[in-house]
Structures are given as structure tokens and as C-alpha cells.
Structure 1
Amino acid sequence: MIETDGRRVRGDASRRLVLDHAVDLASVEGLDGLSIGHLADAARVSKSGVATLFGTKERLQLAAVEAARLRFVASVIEPARDEPRGIRRIVALLDGWIAYSRDRVFTGGCFFAATAAEFDAKPGPVRDALATALTDWSDYLAASFRFAVAQGEVGADEDPEQFAFEATALLDAANTRSVMGDSNQPYVFARRALVARLRAAGADAASLARLADVDDLAV
């Protein structure tokens, strides 16, 4: 019989609780604003408890980036994997990303859009972790588009990396405009632009219905 270490279980639960608050705080105030004292107040735990869990601010920031990555994957990537590789998965990824931002999976909108600007010119482990997460998303989108090219769902001359760049730029802009303007209208514009881009690439209208037919203003 395997015995469970109660202290470890409680410690893991406390860590998850604190990180849930950490990623939401960072999506609003940034990772630089993520202090042990501020987080302790938000999570209603002691400062010593947070310090014991993470030790330093940098370790806390890195743990927050990883927790945010896992939340993003669960919200956007995993559901899209129910769709076959190619255009249907691309549509699911784009629609899922818009819902993730629009429905505020993180309090301040997209965690990575909110925090990347803080560290884009600051070399170090936190910047590296953010860059890796952003690259992984862009690469996955490009890989999915590459399957669409191989399957003849879009034109053979289409560049997957170019598409991924354009799509992420539109999504990031929609997120920023929505958060700043407290409006879902930017998601409407992003959907139209993404559908038009995919139609221009050769995707058929029926395959794009999931992306095209959502009324973000009514959600």
C-alpha cells in the first residue's frame, strides 16, 4: 500500500492556489509587479508561505510562466486536437484562441501578450521562458498549416511560417484592443481578417464555418 505524504499534498495544493492567483495578477500588472508580498495578499496566505514555495521573485516568475503555459494549452491546444490535422484544426485553434482571450481565461486577457513586452529587451531566464512559449504556439500553428498545404486544403505555394506570423499578429492585436477598449468588437474584426486570409489561401467556406459564424458581440 502506497502512503501519501500529507505535507507534500498540502504543499502542492498551496502551490497551485498561489500560482492561480499569480498568473491572473501578472496578466493585469505584469510579471515585474509580481511580488511575494502582493501575491500573499491576493492569495490570502502568509508571505513566509509564498517565500517557502518559491524562494525568489525570479523563481516565482518562472513558475507563473509555466502555469500560464499549461492553462493556455488546456484552453486552446488540447480542445483543438479533437479535430483532424489540417484546416479544421487550424480553424479550431484560431477560434479557441479568440474564445480564450474574449472569455478572459486570464483576468487581463492573454497572459503572454501582457507579459512579453516587459521582457522582450531583458535577457534572462524569464524572457527565455516567455519566448519559448510564444515560439511553441507559433510553431504549432505553422505545423498545422503545413498539414493543410500537404493535404491540398490550401495552396501549395502558401508559406506556413508567414501564415502563423499573420495570424498571431491579428490575434494579439484583437486581444490588446479588446482589453484596452473593454469591447468584443476587435474579435469580430480578427475573425473577418482570418477568414479572408484562409479563403485567399484556398480554404473552402464550409471548413471555415466554425471560425466565421461566431458572433462575438452576442457572447
Structure 2
Amino acid sequence: MSKGQATKLAILDEAVGIASRIGFNALTIGQLAEQTGMSKSGLFAHFKSKEALQLETLERGRERFTDIVIRPTLATPRGVQRVRAMLDHWLVWETQALEGGCVFVTGSIEFDDQPGALHDALVRNQSDWAETIQVVVRTGIAEGDFRADLDVEQFGFSLQGLIYAFHHLSRLLQDPKAEEKLRAGFENLLADAAA
């Protein structure tokens, strides 16, 4: 990796952190310049526009999500163990990797009803995440850990619901029992799916 590429990745990592804390709409080249100590003109040379910055920040978030959640999950043995690992790694992403929590939850709230390139990129990311959950659950069925007639889409929907509820409880409501409630809901979901 060249020095320029390494610099850009460091800038984008800072941008992901900002978007996590205050959202994509508030992420500006000026604010990023202030956070990184770089000049606005230097950053403008990298991104050209606020939308380009937002899109590249989202893509960098996707890369980091893949490194923190997806790859470690897929390295875990197939079946219920992998499904458990998926939630555990997502919790690392939500509670440790980013100060403001999942950047995709933040972006989804901001852009759910705003057409445009960032909306479309978020839809692709969230659709890919939903598909990843379903693939992991299908391997659990193939391994015999989950019942053969399990509605995989419903399982994924329910898990996503738990994830969003956790984000809401822990971030907005500061509920000290948020993780306990998430894990209890998850165990109920697994019990219902068990072979």
C-alpha cells in the first residue's frame, strides 16, 4: 500500500468514526479537516464533494464491518456456533469498534426515505447483511442444528429486530440491561429454531 493510500484509509477511518457519532449528513470535508489536521483543499483533492466523501466513508465502513464481523464469523465452525459468533462479532462492532455504534444503523435512520446514491448504497449494504445472516442460518439447517422447516427470512428479520432494539436501548435509552435483553431474545430465537 502506498503512502497516499494509507493516508486516505486513515482519513476514511476517521470519517467512519464521525459518521458513527453524528451521522453522514453532518460529515463534511471541513469537519474532517479539523479532526485530521489536514487542509480542506488536501481533503477536497481526495473526495471532490460531500457525497463522494459520504459514499467512500460508507464503503470503508463496509470494509471494516467485513473485517470485524463477517470474516471472524465465517472462520467459526458452521451451525449454531457460527450464528452465535455472528451476534458476538456484531456486538464488538456496535460497542467497541465505533464510538457511536453501527454506522449502518445511523445511516439507515438518516437516509431511509431520502432517494439518492447514499440511500442506494445503504440498501445494498443492508440487503447483503440480511443475505449473510440467511446464509449462516441455512448452514445451521444443513448441519442439523436448526429444524429443516425453519423460515430463514423470518429468523433474519427477528435477529435484525433484536439488533436494532439493542442499538436503541443501549444508545438512546442508556439501558444497562440492553445486552442482557438482547441475549435473552437471541436465546429465545435460537430455541425456537432448534432442530
Whether TM exceeds 0.5 here: the answer is yes
Find 1:170's aligned residue among 153, 159, 162. Answer: 162
Residue identity over aligned pairs, in percent, reads: 36
Find 1:112's aligned residue among 99, 104, 110. Answer: 104
| Pairing 1:12–2:1 present | no
Partner in structure 2 of residue 195 of structure 1:
187
Q: In the alignment, is the contact (CA less than 8 A) between 2:79 and 2:137 conserved in 1?
A: yes
Alignment partner of 2:2: what SS? helix
Partner in structure 1 of residue 73 of structure 2:
80
Structure 1: which 4+ aligned runs deviate by more than 4 Å? none
Find 1:126's aligned residue among 118, 126, 132. Answer: 118
What letter is aligned with 1:31?
A: F
**Distance in 2 (alpha carbons) for counterparts of 1:58 and 1:100:** 24
Normalised to the residue count of structure 1, the TM-score between the two structures is 0.84
Spell out, residue by residue over 1:134-187, the C-alpha distance to the aligned partner (whole angstroms, 9 max, x if none).
Answer: 111111111111121223211111111110110011012102221123455211
Q: What are structure 1's unaligned runs of at least 5 residues?
A: 1-7, 204-219
Aligned residue-pair number: 195
| Pairing 1:34–2:19 present | no
**Distance in 1 (alpha carbons) for counterparts of 2:168 and 2:42:** 34
Of 159-168 and 181-190, the range deviating more from structure 2: 181-190
Once the two structures are superposed, the pairs formed by residues 151-162 of structure 1 within 5 Å of their partners are 151-162=143-154
What letter is aligned with 2:133?
A: L
Q: In the alignment, is the contact (CA less than 8 A) between 1:102 and 1:184 conserved in 2?
A: no
- Over alpha carbons, which structure has the higher Rg? 1
Spell out, residue by residue over 1:69-107, the C-alpha distance to the aligned partner (whole angstroms, 9 max, x if none).
Answer: 11111111111122122221111101111222122x111
Alignment partner of 2:56: what SS? helix
1:59 shift after superposition: 0.6
Partner in structure 1 of residue 93 of structure 2:
100
Q: In the alignment, is the contact (CA less than 8 A) between 1:68 and 1:111 conserved in 2?
A: yes
Judged with a 3 Å threshold, the aligned counterparts in structure 2 of structure 1 residues 140 and 167 are, in CA distance, closer, same or farther, namely same
What letter is aligned with 2:76?
A: E
